[in-house]
Amino acid sequence: MAVDLTGISVFLAVAELRSFRAAAEHLGVTRPAVSQAIRRLEDRLGVALVQRTTRSVSLTEAGAQLYQRVAPAIGEVGFALDATADRDAAPSGLLRLAVSSIAERFISGPLLAGFLDACPAVQVDVTVTDEEFDIVAQGFDAGVRLGEVIDQDMIAIPVSGEQRQIPVAAPAYIKRFGKPSHPSELAQHRCIGWRPSPRTAPYRWEFGEAGREYDVAVNPEITTNDMWLMIRTACAGGGITFGMEETFRPYVTSGQLVPLLEGYCPPFAGFFLYFPNRRNLAPKLRALVDHVKRWR
């Protein structure tokens, strides 16, 4: 069977965006063109791939199986074409990155601004997300996450030094409710918690004591996936929150927040730029890797 690359490309866009309209905008075509391409592909294969209602778009079982098998392969084809075309060229093109919301050193601005100065022909598209997924299957060139959650088959380049997570609270909160002297006392305090998505439980706060690591399941009165909401609420005296020391540093320096339980907060490996283990990197990604190494 001849391969319908156009139909496959349209199908992948619909599968990833779950919208015919969004797929059309992404591909730069009309919605009828997307519908026709999907219909031709389904007719060619003799099976329905997409279920479409007035409110949603989803994949059939056959569509989901096709996506799982084809997406990585198309990603490799795209990479091979880019690498061949750009082998001797200056870094250029769109560089798609998936970055953790707490990777402060990477998303704070200077690192990316310096990279764009050095490589003006590269456009960087950064998706800030705490969802865990296969960056290759989703069409990203690289990601930035904590080293402990990166798959071992990836190449990882340090973006930061060691990190610590600490609890913090505003002086007004401490004056009113006092400081906990041990992580076990957090259950008696107002806490502001974090979760990556509505489908997941609040993050358990991690501590260390006498060489032993453990976590505490606080009962947060406020839970959100937005670190800046956590910080603003904590600065207003709304409770104790927990996160990266580096993220809190400006607020600690200004006196808006006070670190707590520091003796129970051991350091750990920090953030890494990671990408698939490939023999030849596209110039745009190689340039970012080199820039991160110089930045470190």
Does 269 score more than 70 pLDDT? yes
CB atoms within 10 A of CB 230: 25
More confident residue, 54 or 268: 268
Model confidence pLDDT, tens digit, residues 100-136: 888 877 888 889 999 999 999 999 999 998 888 888 8
What mean pLDDT is predicted for residues 247-258?
Answer: 96
Mean pLDDT of the chain: 88
What mean pLDDT is predicted for residues 87-93?
Answer: 75
52-56, 75-79, 95-99, 136-140, range with greatest mean pLDDT? 95-99
pTM above 0.85, yes or no: no
> How open is the CA angle 104-108-110, to the nearest 5 degrees?
130
pLDDT at position 191: 97
Which of 104-118, 209-223, 245-259 bottoms out in mean pLDDT, i.e. has the lowest? 104-118
Model confidence pLDDT, tens digit, residues 130-186: 888 888 878 899 999 988 878 888 899 998 888 899 999 999 999 999 999 999 999
Picking from 245, 255, 242, the residue whose alpha carbon sits closest to that of residue 105 is 245
Three-class secondary structure of residue 244 per DSSP: strand
Long-range (24+ apart) CB contacts under 8 A made by 87-93 are 87/280, 87/283, 89/283, 90/119, 90/121, 90/283, 91/119, 91/121, 91/122, 91/283, 91/284, 91/286, 91/287, 92/119, 92/121, 92/122, 92/283, 92/284, 93/121, 93/122, 93/123, 93/282, 93/284
